[in-house]
Chain A
Amino acid sequence: MEWRDEGIIIGARRHGETSLILEAMTAAHGRHLGLVRGGRGRRMQPLLQPGNRVELLWRARLDEHLGIFQVEPLELNAARLFDSAVAVFGLQTLAAHLRLLPERDPHQTLYDTLELIIGHLDDPVSAAELLIRFELLVLDELGFGLDLSQCAATGVRDDLAYVSPKTGRAVSRQAGSQWQDRLLALPAFLGKGAGRRGSPAEIDQAFRLTGYFFGRHVYEARGIEPPEARAAFLSALGRQFATKGESAA
């Protein structure tokens, strides 16, 4: 068995004295693991850092085997992200979300979004907005997608301000006004064609929204804790907004 694909490294675990088990999100083969012989060597270590985009050649005798990766660099992003707390915690959060998906299940849209986010992880506002969209996509891929296109009650497509915590469908400001304390806020920048950036408060609302559905459908259902990296990312983001003089989310 053999294939060649490009991928983004999301983790690596030591294996023996000289090798690593590499975990990568690939474009056409989903989240895939493989052994990298000599991966703990001085020459290979900088290449095998999470966030780096690489070309992977996977070989195994049988499809169900772990297999062996041969790795060639395409874009080494890791060192660029080291200085920013938002970037490193963002990277760990992305990896934690990807680990919710089954192995070897292709998710081309998620891969494309992941590539885009990694390019913007050192810009906190862009990173936050893209991460929210990534979380919505992950929920969708897991079968718990939110329908934010039209109001669940009236069918209107404008002025959507809430999301029903039960159905995950959007509700317009007018239809939801009576139950607003029971509904989740839908920040305007997430609406279709909003064409504007979210404020720190809106970004906070959006993370609460995705966090609620991750908690309800994924973490509670699987009996796992939410990733600590996500909380650390939000805390770092709050500090970043506070330093910039904006009201922290």
Chain B
Amino acid sequence: MPKSISGPEIERLIQLLAKVPGLGPRSARRAALHLIKKKEQLLGPLASAMAEAVDKVRVCSVCGNVDTADPCSVCTDPRRDGTTLIVVEDVADLWALERAGAMNARFHVLGGTLSPLDGVGPDDINLKSLVSRVAAGGVNEVILAVNATVEGQTTAHYITDQLSGLGVKVTRLAHGVPVGGELDYLDEGTLSAALKSRTAF
């Protein structure tokens, strides 16, 4: 049996840090040691920030985003265009689109995609609230910003079907060549999708 080199509190801290994405047992040990060394500047403020987050963070009942207020700051922002709704799979996708700053619209977070392999059906994602949100009126366009994967596109087609008859324009993101992408290195699927959705120059 390996000898214990630190107390149970430190071991627990390492075990919990190892569960964070991007950290394994070794890097968790390094992170824990760094936090302990910077106890006053880092560990204390981090612990209190985490405690505050646990206490205040909630899921927005309107769009499924995470924030400290419900409805979230995106839903309550009066400067946003309420007639356009961008549907994303995950909060990380919402943050990515917000970083891009390309549209000043409102969002709807599905919280996943339809995945028969993982047993995720329409009732397991935030779909009913999307349909009722659109049915309530005021939305002219729904942009399906789901991933360009088979599961993402299956979900997009399912949503399109659910929204048909509600009188909204349903659009999706373009598929094609990324900025900085060299054609020689792209897979043929992406290339044919890019050619299909070419635009006038």
Residue A51 lies at the interface, judged by CB distance under 8 Å to chain B: yes
Q: How far is the CA of A79 from the CA of B22 in the complex (A)?
A: 30
Residue B7 lies at the interface, judged by CB distance under 8 Å to chain A: no
Q: In the complex, are the beta carbons of B157 and A81 less than 8 A apart?
A: no
Name the A residues within 8 Å of B122 (CB-CB).
228
Number of A-B contacts (CB under 8 A): 76
**Number of residues on chain B facing chain A (CB within 8 A):** 25
Chain A stretch 197-242: residues in CB contact (< 8 A) with chain B: 227-229, 232, 235-236, 239
CB distance from B114 to the nearest CB of A (A): 8
Q: How far is the CA of A83 from the CA of B21 in the complex (A)?
A: 33
Name the B residues within 8 Å of A73 (CB-CB).
187
Q: In the complex, are the beta carbons of B22 and A95 less than 8 A apart?
A: no
Q: How far is the CA of A235 from the CA of B118 in the complex (A)?
A: 23
Partner of A82, one of B22, B148, B187, B188: B148
CB distance from B10 to the nearest CB of A (A): 24
Q: In the complex, are the beta carbons of B117 and A232 less than 8 A apart?
A: no
If over half of B's interface residues share one DSSP class (helix, strand or loop), that class is named, otherwise mixed; here it is helix
Name the B residues within 8 Å of A89 (CB-CB).
154, 157
Q: In the complex, are the beta carbons of A91 and B150 less than 8 A apart?
A: yes
Q: In the complex, are the beta carbons of A76 and B187 less than 8 A apart?
A: yes
Q: In the complex, are the beta carbons of A76 and B188 less than 8 A apart?
A: yes
Chain B stretch 133-162: residues in CB contact (< 8 A) with chain A: 148-150, 153-154, 157-158, 160-161
A-B residue pairs in contact (CB < 8 Å), sample of 9 = A11-B117, A50-B150, A80-B193, A81-B153, A82-B175, A85-B160, A92-B116, A95-B117, A236-B157
* Residues of chain B having any CB pair with chain A under 8 Å: 21-22, 114, 116-118, 121-122, 148-150, 153-154, 157-158, 160-161, 175, 187-190, 192-193, 196
* Residues of chain A having any CB pair with chain B under 8 Å: 11-13, 17, 23, 45-47, 49-52, 73, 76-83, 85, 88-89, 91-92, 95-96, 227-229, 232, 235-236, 239
